Structure 1
Amino acid sequence: MSDWKKAFRSFYYETAEDPEDIALERRHTAVLVIDIQNTYLEPKDDPEEQRRWQPFFDRMSGTVIPNCARLIDWARAEGIEVMYARIACQTEDGRDRSLSQKKPGFNYLLLPKDRTDSQIVDALAPRGDEIVVTKTTDSALTGTNLRLMLRNIGITHVIVAGIFTDQCVSSTVRSLADESFDVLVVHDACAAATDALHERELEIINMIYCHVVGLDDLPGFLTGAG
């Protein structure tokens, strides 16, 4: 277990007192897995780009996907709501996308909703009636009715995992915090393009918009009988 009360502190919180203990009620807690889709695991055509991205691919296959699978299995066993967000546009040409996904460069994303590359990876596939929202925005709240569904279900605490830590994860966390949800980010079930970006973003959002915790910390936060 990590010392989550001390880890990932930015300048703003270097001298702050420790946060209170976290208490999660199963029926008011949801796990949200963000954007772990086939497109992000596809090999790069250019060998140099493949080399640049190899550490990310290694983290995804060796850490993030296995830990997200553990997180999902744990949540299902505990009766905690499991939800997903993925990037997917409704139109084949992507005319419904937000501006950020139409700009040239890395964040240019054309992922029609029925295409294979837009689907959640098989290892983390939703089961039964688990909710999946599709978005053409970074934040899973901004471009969907996720906010309404969380409120309807009675969720107050959201456990977040997925990619990319410094983009869609961070945007979603900030939106959730602004809507007064209590948010936990599972640092060993997330990734950015590099470990440096990942860790820096965790420092930025920790203790302001969320608490950054480890996967093994979560069982100790549960209250009451299962």
Structure 2
Amino acid sequence: MKRDRKYVSFYYDTTEEFPEIKLDPKKTALCLVDLQNEFVLRDFGEALAFKEAGEWEKWIPFHDRLDQMVIPNNKRLLDFFRANNMTVSFGRIACQREDGEDRSPVQKTEGWNNMLLHVDSFAAQMVEPLTPKANEIIVNKTTDSVTTGTNYLQLLRFMGIETVVVTGIVTDQCVASTIRGLADEGLKVICVEDACAAGSQELHDAELKIMNLIYCDVLSTDDTIELIKKYLP
């Protein structure tokens, strides 16, 4: 499969041919990361805080990308995985205690990562139209990575999963941490570039360039679906 040279880094800039991506749909899972009401909605959660702080203007491109590209592409992937009876999973920031004392230290620290989303709150739920259905796995985390401090890796092993297709927000934080965690555990990872977003396009592109061909294969939604179709019975 041809790769988008936009995401080929210094380490591979002289490489012309890349290995073919092979997968088994029965052993492939989709993982949507942190696409929650708190972070996605324009009239709730973080968006209201940005508006109150006078910082909303710089976040409009992020929300435009979410509304116009990321959410629709995640819905396409969800529909495709569901239609083909493939494994669907969700990683979300959510604590068990209302006071947030079960959160990791990084999420108790003042600053960007300080967030308290109780598992039952509206803020913690996956945004419409990406609501989980029965029989789909929801992993609650108080860390960046879906793999750290959770049983996600164990669940993947129990189900015989070998490849994980990762989407979500933000590319340079929770998405990247999840991809690295999966790769370090020996799983093959596909990051769907137009189903992810970072605070800025610059951060998004830089992180994908860093991870591509080392920790994951960076593909578009169209290419990901076409790749899986090639291996469907």
TM bracket, shorter-chain basis? over 0.9
Residue 26 of structure 1: how far off its partner (Å): 1.1
Of 83, 100, 111, the match for 2:117: 111
Inter-partner Cα distance in structure 1 for 2:58 and 2:211: 26
Percent identity between matched residues is 46
Letter in 2 for 1:16: T
Inter-partner Cα distance in structure 2 for 1:200 and 1:224: 31
Letter in 1 for 2:126: I
1:67 aligned partner: 73
Greater shift in the superposed pair: 117-126 or 8-17: 8-17
Q: Which ranges of structure 1 fall in alignment gaps of 5 or more residues?
A: none
TM-score in terms of structure 1 length = 0.95
Deviations 1:75-108 (A, max 9, x none): 1112211110000011111111111111111211
Q: CA 1:224/1:10 → structure 2, altered by over 3 Å: closer, same or farther?
A: closer
1:14 aligned partner: 13
2:143 aligned partner: 137
Letter in 1 for 2:89: M
Of 102, 113, 118, the match for 2:108: 102
Specify the SS of the correspondent of 1:183.
strand
Q: CA 1:8/1:31 → structure 2, altered by over 3 Å: closer, same or farther?
A: same
2:94 aligned partner: 88
Structure with higher RCO (Cα < 8 A, 6+ apart): 1
- Count matched residues: 225
Contact persistence 1:5–1:18 (CA under 8 A):
no
Residue 18 of structure 1: how far off its partner (Å): 2.6
Q: Which ranges of structure 2 fall in alignment gaps of 5 or more residues?
A: none
Residue 220 of structure 1: how far off its partner (Å): 2.8
Q: Which consecutive segments of 4 or more residues in structure 1 shift more than 6 A?
A: none
Specify the SS of the correspondent of 1:185.
strand
Matches within 5 A, 1:1-226: 3-4=2-3, 6-40=5-39, 41=41, 42=44, 43-44=47-48, 45-46=51-52, 48-222=54-228, 223-226=230-233
